[in-house]
Structure 1
Amino acid sequence: MIILFGGTTEGRLAAGLLDGMSRRYLYATKSASGCFPMSHGEHRNGALNDRTMVSLLAEREIRLIIDAAHPFAIGLHRTIARVAGTLSLPVIRLERDYRIDPELIDTPRVRFADSLAAAAGLLEIMKPRVVLAATGVQSVSVLRPYWTEHRMKVRILPAERSYDLAIREGFPEEDIIRKAPSCSQAEEEATYRLHGIDCLLCKESGSSGFLPVKLAAAKACGISAVIVRRPVLPATFRTVHSVAALREALSDRGERP
């Protein structure tokens, strides 16, 4: 059996491929949200550490790991790498498209940082009036030193658990924007203007994370942007950049239903 770590656009694409190839697989996500029909897969949710992942993979007789999780799920990627090494299992990483028009990033308005903490340091130097953190609710605690001293709004998914987490962290309720990122540049522009945003803080999340749309909207609004670079993946992963390449990688391994 194959285990597919998903919860992303890429995860669904990989699941569709496995269904089309009649491969049995376990679709693993951290939360139970985002379930979808699968013809040859079954869903499994819940966080895993090294011990519980080893147990799960042994119990389900997993012979291949496909990592299609979010690029910033650093802890998960590292756990997969350690467990795969322990069990001598191959890992195929289905990577997303990070290509972006150079005109959107080759400008003094856009700066890069290697971490959220480094990004906060850049913001201290740039001194924007109102920052929009489009970095997810998990970033609220890391950014605490900044938003307790400066004006920041955070955009989070419109799920109660995300809202509750932000409130528990003490983030000002009036500065929470409960809205999913949009694939529409016009909607992004409207959000920036409505909230008086003059600086966007975002992650290098690729096209499926709507980064090109966010940066195009920022350019149209004449505002600056700070982008947190995506983390480096474990060197032991075999990385593919398309569903077609994933199919080829599976065929190379002679995967059977």
Structure 2
Amino acid sequence: MGSVLVLGGTGEGRRLAGLLESVEGLRTVSSLAGRVAQPALPVGEVRVGGFGGVRGLVSWLVEEGIGMVVDATHPFAAGMSASAAEAAREAGVPLVVLRRAGWTEREGDVWHWVGSVGEAARVLPSVGRRAFLTTGRQSIGEFAGVDGVWFLARSVDPPAGAVPGELRVVLDRGPFEVEDELRLMRDNAIDVLVTKDSGGPMTSAKLDAARRLGIPVVIVRRPPVPPGVPCVGTAEEAAAWVLERTSARDV
């Protein structure tokens, strides 16, 4: 039936790998970027590390006989998504993006939407002075030049490079419960939450806690899906997309 590459690293990617693992005759390869020291691994065949840019990915797709690609990377992995779209076009391989739905404001929310992490850093001092930073360890450095704000940052691995002068780091991996988020925010006197519109239920507890505490949220809009690439919202829809193409090729 052929082979499919799942560009993963997300819960949706792991779920998709599990759904496809049971399809007889279909080879499923999940690829992880390798940016986390101990990633949660999907079932089945897994490769870790980059491809060496677009050209490297094109070569790998051809050499491995990959017939389809599912981009199930993080909604903010814009560079990887753009490279995947370009490589799929060059290799003549169909591609679909798997993106969970973003968050929507609810009654009681006080959200300040921004276009980038850099913009979040610029507006932050006007919103609060004790910030809970949940934008990922790779973006912590963008807040290094922010004065007058104390930071609580949470990430899976420790940050590297420049960091804010007043910073406490909590190393933890979700999902998190609302009561735990409430306790963390209260214990650290948090008065503003900074996050990305990652979407999904696994990371929404912090938003629920902020709403209950009346804490404003600085939230970064997600980048758009590459133009011309179809997009589905669930692992089940992505699995159906794969199976439709394997069935069509077998006819």
- TM-score range normalised by the length of the shorter chain: 0.7 to 0.9
Q: Which amino acid aligns with 1:179?
A: D
User: Is the 8 Å Cα contact of residues 95 and 242 (structure 1) preserved in structure 2?
Assistant: yes
Q: Which amino acid aligns with 2:92?
A: S
What runs of 5+ residues in structure 2 fail to find an aligned partner?
Answer: none
Instruction: Within 5 Å, give how 1:65-144 maps onto structure 2.
Output: 65-100=69-104, 102-103=106-107, 105=109, 109-126=110-127, 128-144=128-144
Change (3 A) 1:33 1:58: farther
Number of the residue aligned with 2:184: 191
Change (3 A) 1:120 1:37: closer
User: Is the 8 Å Cα contact of residues 95 and 239 (structure 1) preserved in structure 2?
Assistant: yes
Instruction: Within 5 Å, give how 1:57-68 maps onto structure 2.
Output: 57-68=61-72
1:202 to 186, 195, 215: 195
Query: Secondary structure of 2:211's partner?
Result: helix
Number of the residue aligned with 1:235: 227
User: Is the 8 Å Cα contact of residues 90 and 237 (structure 1) preserved in structure 2?
Assistant: no
Change (3 A) 1:58 1:208: farther
- Looking at structure 1, the residues matched to 219 and 130 of structure 2 have their Cα atoms a distance apart, in angstroms, of 16
Instruction: Within 5 Å, give how 1:6-21 maps onto structure 2.
Output: 6-21=8-23
Number of the residue aligned with 1:226: 218
Aligned residue pairs, count: 243
Number of the residue aligned with 1:154: 153
Q: Percent identity of the aligned residues?
A: 30
Q: Which amino acid aligns with 1:110?
A: W
- Looking at structure 2, the residues matched to 206 and 79 of structure 1 have their Cα atoms a distance apart, in angstroms, of 22
After superposition, the CA RMSD in angstroms is: 2.2
Q: How far 1:170 moved relative to its partner?
A: 4.3
Higher alpha-carbon deviation: 72-81 or 174-183:
174-183
Deviations 1:48-75 (A, max 9, x none): 3112212211211111101111111111
Q: How far 1:35 moved relative to its partner?
A: 5.1
Query: Secondary structure of 2:15's partner?
Result: helix
Change (3 A) 1:42 1:75: same
Change (3 A) 1:248 1:203: same
Query: Secondary structure of 2:246's partner?
Result: coil
Q: How far 1:124 moved relative to its partner?
A: 3.0
- Looking at structure 2, the residues matched to 130 and 35 of structure 1 have their Cα atoms a distance apart, in angstroms, of 31
Q: How far 1:220 moved relative to its partner?
A: 1.3
TM score, norm. by length of structure 1: 0.86
Q: Which amino acid aligns with 1:19?
A: E
Q: Which amino acid aligns with 1:135?
A: T
User: Is the 8 Å Cα contact of residues 58 and 87 (structure 2) preserved in structure 1?
Assistant: yes
2:172 to 158, 174, 179: 179
User: Is the 8 Å Cα contact of residues 195 and 220 (structure 2) preserved in structure 1?
Assistant: yes
